[in-house]
Amino acid sequence: MKICIFGAGAIGGYMGVKLAQAGADVSLVARGPHLAAMNEKGLTLIEEDKDPVTVPVTASDNPADLGPQDYVIVTLKAHSVPPVVPKMQPLIGDNTTIVSGVNGVPWWYFHKIGTDLEGTRLATVDPGNAQWDGFGPDRVLGCVVYPAAEVTEPGTIKHIEGNRFSLGEPDGSKSDRALALSKALSAAGLKAPVRPRLRDEIWVKLWGNLSFNPISALTHATLDVLCTDPGTRAVAKGMMLEAQEIAEKLGVKFPIDVERRIDGGAAVGAHRTSMLQDLDQGRPMEIDALVGSVQELGRVTETPTPTIDTVLALIQLRGRTAGLYG
């Protein structure tokens, strides 16, 4: 089984080391100094309570070097995917599965959803239908990424917590391709359950990213603070309740309530969300995938989103004034 991880930064690099250690036929697409370091000295993973490990990896910035794959696991930031769809084509053969390991509402959300919204495209996450037309939705296997990791220096990944990558077919079936990838990831020491209702998990994760991420980038507060400060907790709750109304109209069942989700965020502690880290480091923020997409779904489902609209306007302008958005 040939697996290529496209965008082998923090999450893709973590997965890459684990798969390489388990002897999988895995290759990585990356770029710049991180790619150069991987090719020079291998990819290093630092995990708590373990000695750092460095593994030799097959890595390139040119997918044509790697050829058609059984699985392409996309672990780019959401806004980086549409522009690279043409560049990814050499990785795609007749039976290639694309695994979308990207936060936010996935571009394939309405593929095989089984309602009258079947086939609806989302401009916020797939402008110009780049992925829908360039990959084809039948290739897609969904994935919710739970681990936290970061690239601490070129060629080095620090794992922070978690090892679960939930997988799910758009139609909820336990397909052979989902089960085979689950087996390969499990053999690498990762948790990879195949879920019949992946969209429910997408929304529980998205609840936090939708609200905590922009609030943290706007306030520079860590999760423990923004989830317990009465004012910002109320803003997060307002956004999440609007999202819940949208999601329930789309058939999602939430296994927990908003208060419990916010308490879970607080329990993570003094974490600077990825959007705050991106802002601080001058990198584009995943505003469209995490917040704009939920506003778009509000329009699709005719659900008012006044709190989401307000926070989205603020974070978009924050991004523009920092030269990182739009």
Ligand X SMILES: CC(C)(CO)C(=O)C(=O)O
Ligand Y SMILES: NC(=O)C1=CN([C@@H]2O[C@H](COP(=O)(O)OP(=O)(O)OC[C@H]3O[C@@H](n4cnc5c(N)ncnc54)[C@H](OP(=O)(O)O)[C@@H]3O)[C@@H](O)[C@H]2O)C=CC1
Residue 111 near residue 133 (C-beta atoms within 8 A): no
In the complex, minimum distance from the CB of residue 265 to ligand X, in angstroms, rounded to a whole number: 6
3-state secondary structure of 268: helix
Residue 55 phi/psi, 5-degree rounding, is: -120, 145
Among 19, 28, 76, 279, which residue interacts with ligand Y (rule: CB under 6 A)?
Answer: 76
Write the CA distances from 197 to 44, 83, 242, 299, 311, integer angstroms.
34, 29, 21, 23, 29
Pick out residues in 43-72 that bind ligand X (CB under 6 A). none
In the list ligand Y, ligand X, none, the entry touching 7 (Cβ below 5 to 8 angstroms by class) is: ligand Y
Judged by CB under 6 A, does residue 85 bind ligand Y?
no
Return d(Cα 38, Cα 25) in angstroms, integer: 17
DSSP string across 280-300: HTT----HIIIIIHHHHHHHH
Judged by CB under 6 A, does residue 151 bind ligand Y?
yes
Judged by CB under 6 A, does residue 212 bind ligand X?
yes
DSSP tag of 129: G
DSSP tag of 254: -
From 2, 112, 191, 205, active-site residue: 205
Among 27, 100, 274, 305, which residue interacts with ligand X (rule: CB under 6 A)?
Answer: 274
Q: Which structure tokens are listed for 229?
A: 């400060």
Judged by CB under 6 A, does residue 237 bind ligand X?
no
Which range, of 51-59, 134-142, 143-151, 165-173, touches ligand Y by CB under 6 A?
A: 143-151
Footprint on this chain of ligand X (rule: CB under 6 A) = 208-209, 212-213, 265, 268, 271, 273-274
Footprint on this chain of ligand Y (rule: CB under 6 A) = 7, 9-12, 29-32, 34, 61, 75-78, 80, 84, 102-103, 145, 148-151, 274, 286
